[in-house]
Amino acid sequence: MLDLFKRLFCQKQSNPLSQNISISSASSSDAEDSPEAANVKQVEKITDILNQELDVNLERIYSRQWEFDFPNGCPDNLDQEDIEPDESPAPTTRLSQVPSYVVLDFETTGLSPECDCIIEIGAIKYIDGQEFGVMNTFVNPQCPIPAKITRLTGITDDDVSGAPTVQNAIEKLYQFIDGLPIVAHNARFDLSFLDAAYHAIGLESKLEYIDTLELARHAFPSAPNHKLSTLIRFLSIDDSQDHRALSDVRQTHALFCKCIASSKKTITPKCFHGSTQSRVASNEYHRYPKFSPKDVICTCDSLDKSHPLYQKRIVFTGQLSISRQDAAQMAADVGAIITGAVSRKTDYLVVGTQDLAIVGKNGVSSKEKKVRELNQLGATHIKIIREREFIDLVHAVEV
C-alpha cells in the first residue's frame, strides 16, 4: 500500500493537470439510458470515493513525508495549519511523579564525611524532565590528595590548588539545588558528605533523595552486582570517563531513566536523616537515645549478595560520630544483621569512643572484652573494627 501511495504521489507531483483518477464516459445524450452509461455512472461514483480517500491518505503522508523518503520532497502547497493536530494527551510515565530534581556526585579523598573531604562536585539540574543547568567544579580540600584517590579519579593536588574552598563551593551548590530532590547512586554516601558540609557552614539541611542503587537492585536483579560501573556495562550505558563527578552524574541519570522504564515501582523521594543533625554545636560526641536492633528494618527492595556485610552479624559499642541507629540502618540496608549482644555468631564488633567513667580506665567495654575472650579461646574469629572501617565496608559497593 505504501508503494502505491508513493507512485501516486510522484504522478501527482509530475503531472499537476491530472490530479484525480478519471474514466472517460459517453458524451452522447442518446446513450444516457444505455446499460453502458449506467455502468459508467457507477464507476464514476466509485472513482469519486477513491479520490476522496486518496486525498485524505496523501495528506496524511504529506504531513509525515520525512518518514517515507519521497524523491520529490514535501509538497510546497501543503498548508500545515490545515492538518488537524493530534490533541490526545501524551502518555504519562513514572518520571512525571518527580519531574524536577538534581543528579549529584562527589569525588572525595575517602569514604568518611568525618575524616575526608570533597574534591569535586558534579551536578545537573532537571526541570520538568529537561536539563536546566550544570554545576561542575573542583574543590580545594586544603590537604594532600591520597595517591590511591589520584589513581582512581585522576584528580591531583595541582588540579584543586586554585579551586574554591569547601565553604564557597557548597554555598553555590546549596543555591543550585534550591530544595529539589537529589538523585544519586548509593545516595547515602554523597548525602552524608553534603549534610556534613551544610552543617559545618551553618546551612539548613533538609534533604530529599532518590537512590539509583536501590532502584537498580529492584529493576535489574540479574545484574552481576549493582556498582555503578557494573550497571553501566550491563545496561550498555556510555562509559567514556569513569570516576569523575560530571561523567558519573550523566551515567547516573541514564541509569535512573532505565530504572524507571524497567520498574513498576512508584518513585518517591525519601528524607535523609543526616548523621550530623543530632550533633551538638561544639561538634563533640554525646549520648544518643537507645534503640532496639529489632526495630531496624532494611529499606531496600533487593540486596547485593556479594556485599561484604551481607548476612553478617554486627554489634556496636561506644559512641560513634553518627547515631547508633543511623549506623545500624546503614548496615541493615546492605543486608547486615544487627544484634545487641556479642555471641559466637557475631562477625563484627564496631567500636566507637568509650566513656571511661563507664568502662573504666582501660577504655574497653564489656562487649569488646567478650569478643577478645572468645577469639582467644579459638571459638570465634570476630573482627573488631573502628567506625571508619565500618563505613568503608558499608560503601564497599562503590569501591
For the chain, give every domain's residue range.
2-82, 94-272, 293-398
C-alpha cell at 51: 479520490
Nearest-CA neighbor of 125 among 272, 267, 246, 237?
Answer: 246
The per-residue pLDDT for 43 is 61
Q: Which strands sit side by side in the sheet containing 337-338, from one edge to the other?
A: 337-338, 313-317, 348-351, 383-386
β-strand pairing of 182-184 with 207-211: parallel
Q: Is 211 helix (H, G, I), strand (E, B) or coil?
A: strand
Q: From CA 74, how far away is CA 54, in angstroms rounded?
A: 17
The per-residue pLDDT for 395 is 79
Residues of the chain short of pLDDT 70, as ranges, are 1-97, 240-243, 274-291, 301, 396-399
User: What is the maximal distance between C-alpha atoms in the chain?
Assistant: 130
Find out if CATH 3.50.50.60 is the number for domain 293-398. no
Grid cell 559497593 is found at 397
The per-residue pLDDT for 292 is 76
The per-residue pLDDT for 15 is 46
The per-residue pLDDT for 191 is 92
Find out if CATH 3.30.420.10 is the number for domain 94-272. yes
Helix (H) or strand (E) holding 254: helix 245-262
C-alpha cell at 372: 577478645
For 192-210, letters b (16+ CB in 10 Å) and e give bbbbbbbbeeeeebebbbb
Question: How many Cβ atoms sit within 10 Å of the Cβ of residue 103?
Answer: 26
Nearest-CA neighbor of 223 among 204, 210, 236?
Answer: 236
Nearest-CA neighbor of 251 among 266, 232, 265, 270?
Answer: 232
The per-residue pLDDT for 357 is 74
The per-residue pLDDT for 322 is 78
